[in-house]
Amino acid sequence: MLEFRLAQERYAVESRYVQEVHPLKELTPLPCTPPFVVGIVNVRGRIVPVLDLKRFLDLPEKGLTDLHRVILVRGQDFEVGLLADVVVGVRSIPIDSLQPSLPTLTGVRNEYLKGVTAERLVLVDLQRVLSDPRIIVHDEVAV
């Protein structure tokens, strides 16, 4: 899995979804989108929407810099970029060391988290995130 940090907290995603890691460049804000959609980026000719997990997970916001990384992940149907503060690296974790998500976590957080390691590494359940109905943006803007 790929470990990264969001607002001083350690998160991780399974590396089978991960395509590659990119620095945040040439972000184009996209109007008429929910707040967690930051914008779109051009990765080798492909237009990829960028999601901010911090908004998704109700984490404190700090503003965007070039230092942010975009983690390109691929679901069944589409490809998105996840915004990460720092990408720590790839590591292997035994699946059984994974503890279920904390019972204290409720709501959105609990919904998208797969589990927490002993080092308080939070594994994000990408499948759920990406299949979340909110992610499908269907909005018409009255012109």
Partner 1 sequence: MKWSVGRKIGVGFGLLLVIFVIVGAVSYWSTAQLIAASEARKHSYEVLGTLDETLSLLKDAEIGQRSYLLTGEESYLEPYQAAFGKIDSNIQEVRRLTVDNARQQHRLEALEPIVKNRVAFAKETIDARRTNSFAAAVALVKTGKGKALMDEIRRLIGEMKNEENDLLKQRVEAAQADAQRAKWTIMLGTFAALLLAAVAGFVITRNIARPLQGLTGVAERITLGDLSVNGSTNGRSDEVGELARTFDRMTQSLRTMAGAAEQIAAGDLRSTVKPQSPNDVLGNAFARMTENLREQARQLVEGANVLGSAAGEIVASTTQLASSATESATAVSETTTTVEEVRQTAEVANQKARNVADSAQKAAQISESGRKSAADIGVGMNRIRQQMEAIAESMVRLSEQSQTIGQIIATVEDLAAQSNLLAVNAAIEAAKAGEHGKGFGVVAQEVKSLAEQSRQATNQVRTILSDIQKATTAAVMATEQGSKAVEAGERQTGSAAESIQTLAGNVSEAAQAATQIAASSQQQLVGMEQVAAAMENIKQASTQNVASASQLERAARNIDEMGQQLKQMVAGYKV
Q: Residue numbers of the site for partner 1 (CB under 8 A)?
A: 2, 15-16, 18-23, 67, 69, 87, 89-90, 92
In the bound complex, what is the minimum distance in angstroms from residue 143's beta carbon to partner 1?
A: 40
Beta carbon nearer to partner 1, 19 or 131: 19
In the bound complex, what is the minimum distance in angstroms from residue 99's beta carbon to partner 1?
A: 23
Beta carbon nearer to partner 1, 21 or 64: 21
Beta carbon nearer to partner 1, 1 or 37: 1
- At 105, which helix (H) or strand (E)? none
Q: Check: CB of residue 60 under 8 Å from CB of residue 54.
A: yes
In the bound complex, what is the minimum distance in angstroms from residue 39's beta carbon to partner 1?
A: 20
Burial 32-51 (b: 16+ CB within 10 A, else e): eeeebbbbbbebeeeebbbb
Give the phi and the psi of residue 115 in degrees, each rounded to 5.
175, 175
